[in-house]
Amino acid sequence: MSNQDVASSDDSHIYRDIVWNGVWKQNPGLVQLLGLCPILAISTNTVNAVSLGLATVLVMALANLGVAALRNFIPYEIRIPVFILIIAALVTVVDLAFNAWLHSLYLVLGIFIPLIVTNCIVLARVEAFAAKNDLRHSIVDGIAQGIGLVAVLAVLGAVREIIGNGTLLGGIDMIIDGAKPLQLFGEHYPGFLVAILPPGAFFALGSLIALRNWIDARAAARNRHAPPPAALPEAETSAA
């Protein structure tokens, strides 16, 4: 195998680790428990949750890109104010874009779009990863962490909306004119109010965290009890 093949294999392994880290191993919503305020407050339905999540993905990817490109020019002593300035500029662009093209959704999300500036997830990845790594790895890290957050928001929003209102994709008409939400339990479903109130957000998030931990525990138990790989016979080993 040539040096180029080895480098390519190592690079793909790094990208795989970054994606797995963001989506599952260090998921910002289920493991790092960062940005809980928007996660719990805006996840009353799927559309709101996913929309805010996608806005955060965009900001994270571009913020990681900007910081990674400028990291060698930013004095260490003022890095945090500079990072926040970069994030604030990107959030302003996203905020204006929502206001211009998705005004109804913009009114619903309200203050939570500008608050992406202070979201711990964005600043944490910029400081912990983008400030220490190159452009490509930083962009992948921002997207992977954002996808992990969107997945949590989507599941959380869907569960709370289904239990609370008996619908799915409520408010989709704010994005697609004339679209209607899915009525899963019929129009006369009384709803379960607690699910869409703050206590319901904590119960749902706690359940997701418990489910993730259970899956990890099951995987670890399987690995512990898995038989070791069979050794090659001596003749085959010497031939290899």
Q: What local confidence, expressed as pLDDT, does residue 121 receive?
A: 86
The stretch 73-102 carries a mean pLDDT of 92
| pLDDT per position as a tens digit, 39-60 | 888 888 899 999 999 999 999 9
Q: What local confidence, expressed as pLDDT, does residue 239 receive?
A: 42
d(CA 161, CA 47) in angstroms, rounded, equals 10
Indicate the pLDDT class of residue 228, thresholds 50, 70 and 90. low
Q: What local confidence, expressed as pLDDT, does residue 8 receive?
A: 55
The 3-state secondary structure of 136-164, one letter per residue: HHHHHHHHHHHHHHHHHHHHHHHHHHHHH
Cβ atoms of 49 and 153 within 8 Å: the answer is yes
Q: What local confidence, expressed as pLDDT, does residue 156 receive?
A: 93
Q: Is 68 a residue whose pLDDT tops 50?
A: yes
At 108, list the tokens. Answer: 């619903």
Q: What local confidence, expressed as pLDDT, does residue 240 receive?
A: 39
Cβ atoms of 38 and 156 within 8 Å: the answer is no
Tokens 């928001």 — which residue? 153
Q: Is 86 a residue whose pLDDT tops 90?
A: yes
The 3-state secondary structure of 1-21, one letter per residue: CCHHHHHHHHHHHHHHHHHHH
Cβ atoms of 13 and 20 within 8 Å: the answer is no
Residue 205, number of CB atoms within 10 A of its CB = 22
Mean pLDDT of the chain: 85
pTM (2 d.p.): 0.84
The stretch 90-109 carries a mean pLDDT of 91
The stretch 102-118 carries a mean pLDDT of 87
Which of 19, 25, 32 is CA-nearest to residue 124?
A: 32
Looking at mean pLDDT, say which of 32-41, 66-75, 169-178, 186-195 comes out highest: 66-75
The stretch 1-15 carries a mean pLDDT of 63
| pLDDT per position as a tens digit, 129-153 | 999 988 999 999 999 999 999 999 9
